[in-house]
A and B are shown apart, each in its own frame.
Chain A
């Protein structure tokens, strides 16, 4: 599955993956291969195999820890409007409050306004633990504003973790400043390590007072990115690599990128689907370049998993996003509103709140572990996907009709593994559902065997059943993983007793905008 022979391999791998494999006598309990086998719960609330000093850095960072993203929030401040490269998937002129994708913001902030906003949000949303600067241009193409903001925030709110995102072109020049500023997480967007491929993604870069184009530009960019990554790794800064998966341009190549960044000490690799529509006005949008399907994306992520953790919970958020990853509260905090707020930064209140969150995480992990133990005797080769409607905290606590996204879990005798997110348009608008939207949602989760919800109306319920997806509401407001494992055990029982014929679900023909996980 790892070997990439040619295009389409991933798709085949994805299909095979879900299939009921030949039952073998030695397949017992959890699969030994770490490829797809890691359940997301563990005795230490998500720590898994991580060394303690690394876990301390990521345990409350929603982007660096999948487990943390159910409980903790992040915010971006848009203090860095300038960029030093041009990407074919980016259009800097576009700004719409309803649009969620990187590079998009509603208003620029000065460092002083940014700090004010951070303090206001830290007080309103005490589970906000991370401040990132991710543009809307490039954090390091605006070094004065970026580092001034970090300095002011670290003085005013020393408990908040600092991180930044960059395309890496200027990175080697600022590694020492990053260390001095106590930034312990850096995300570098690396889409290629081959300049010929890079030339199809980056029309130009601006470097050393000169505009470079084509292969020459891509060569400089990749050299600087990899050099910057090595320098950060040497200094113990955790690096996440973002890669945009662009079918027929870098999809196969991202396996090479994965190896290159892994060998240079990257901590996490986040392969994201290209977001591309003509109305975005990007070069790729205009020339009809498509994004990958959900299955192509998952297959590539699976192929890259092994040596490095793969991030699958990215929401490709805006450069001014606020809140839990799936729930952007940015519009509540415009500069006007923030300036009017009376803010008293209360560190004790934040600590007390976060203590409660930690207790909740421990209960969640214990419940999951207990349920997992019941599964330990099971022998089955069945692997299937389920969708979960949640508002956060690791609970099944969202109504089907109100869900803006579904979290995807892969269930097997290894347990429940988080494998991604599917965004959907909200089905229920003002109390009544719209049939078109409903069928879009059903198509969007067609590869699932069940959908877990806090509540669901009669209409959607029968539509789901008709489509072969079981609506499950008996675990309302309970922990996701524990419930999913409990349901999976009863599913296996039913299959064994012959009450249910286990069959494969089709490929979810997910429309582009919905597949943006």
Chain B
């Protein structure tokens, strides 16, 4: 029943897409509400010690899946899912 509300589009590749940026969740601001977790098309989000974390290597900024990063759009606390500038930008394969 959850799948009806959160269809997961699976595109073959992101080859034609621009370079994406990994997101991170600021743990001190995360309420642990889990809203982001089922929305991530890359299954990159999981719970860790009461708050949620994004696996940077899996994050594609939802490019090819949705118009906007789902974790950012659903997060109840502003500026909690943010671009992780400490990591190199995601390179689309190709």
Instruction: Tell whether A pairs with B.
Output: yes
Interface: A466 (CB within 8 A): no
Q: Which of A201-222 contact B (CB under 8 A)?
A: 206, 209-211
Interface: A93 (CB within 8 A): yes
Given contacts A82-B33, A82-B35, A108-B32, is CB(A93)–CB(B77) below 8 Å? Answer: yes
Q: Which residues does chain B contribute within 8 Å of A210, judged by CB atoms?
A: 66-68, 73
Stretch at the interface among B1-9, B15-23, B53-61, B85-93: B1-9
* In the bound complex, CA of A170 to CA of B4 (Å): 11
Given contacts A86-B76, A92-B76, is CB(A81)–CB(B1) below 8 Å? Answer: no
Interface: A189 (CB within 8 A): no
Q: Contact string, A135-151, partner B, CB cutoff 8 A, digits 1/0?
A: 01100011110010000
* In the bound complex, CA of A284 to CA of B68 (Å): 28
- Distance in angstroms from A268 CB to nearest chain B CB is 27
**Nearest CB in chain A to that of B7: its residue:** A209
- Distance in angstroms from A5 CB to nearest chain B CB is 39
Q: Contact string, B32-50, partner A, CB cutoff 8 A, digits 1/0?
A: 1111001100000000000
Q: How many residues of A contact B (CB 8 A)?
A: 23
Q: Is the CB of B2 within 8 A of A144?
A: yes
- Distance in angstroms from A162 CB to nearest chain B CB is 16
* In the bound complex, CA of A108 to CA of B68 (Å): 29
Q: Is the CB of A84 within 8 A of B77?
A: no
Given contacts A143-B1, A174-B1, A210-B67, is CB(A81)–CB(B74) below 8 Å? Answer: no
Given contacts A81-B33, A81-B34, is CB(A147)–CB(B5) below 8 Å? Answer: no
- Distance in angstroms from B67 CB to nearest chain A CB is 6
Q: Which residues does chain B contribute within 8 Å of A83, judged by CB atoms?
A: 33, 35, 76
Identify which of B5, B31, B33, B73 contacts A211 (C-beta below 8 A): B73
Q: Is the CB of B1 within 8 A of A147?
A: yes
- Distance in angstroms from B81 CB to nearest chain A CB is 12
* In the bound complex, CA of A136 to CA of B35 (Å): 12
Which among B31, B39, B66 has the greatest number of chain A C-beta atoms within 10 A? B31
**Nearest CB in chain A to that of B35: its residue:** A82
Q: Is the CB of B73 within 8 A of A137?
A: no
Q: Is the CB of B1 within 8 A of A209?
A: no
* In the bound complex, CA of A173 to CA of B39 (Å): 17
Given contacts A209-B39, A209-B66, A210-B67, is CB(A93)–CB(B1) below 8 Å? Answer: no
Interface: A177 (CB within 8 A): yes
**Nearest CB in chain B to that of A209: its residue:** B66
Q: Which residues does chain B contribute within 8 Å of A86, judged by CB atoms?
A: 76
Q: Which residues does chain A contribute within 8 Å of B67, judged by CB atoms?
A: 209-210
Q: Which residues does chain B contribute within 8 Å of A143, judged by CB atoms?
A: 1-2, 5
Q: Is the CB of B68 within 8 A of A144?
A: no
**Nearest CB in chain B to that of A142: its residue:** B34
* In the bound complex, CA of A174 to CA of B66 (Å): 23
Q: Which residues of B contact A (CB under 8 A)?
A: 1-2, 4-6, 29, 31-35, 38-39, 66-68, 70, 73-74, 76-77
Q: Nearest 3 pairs between A and B by C-beta?
A: A82-B35, A211-B73, A81-B33
A-B contact list, 21 entries, CB within 8 Å = A81-B35, A82-B33, A82-B34, A82-B74, A84-B35, A92-B31, A93-B77, A108-B32, A142-B34, A143-B1, A143-B5, A173-B5, A174-B1, A206-B73, A206-B74, A209-B6, A209-B39, A209-B73, A210-B67, A210-B68, A211-B73
Given A82-B33, A142-B34, A209-B39, 9 more pairs with CB closer than 8 A: A81-B32, A83-B33, A93-B31, A108-B32, A143-B2, A209-B70, A209-B73, A210-B66, A210-B68
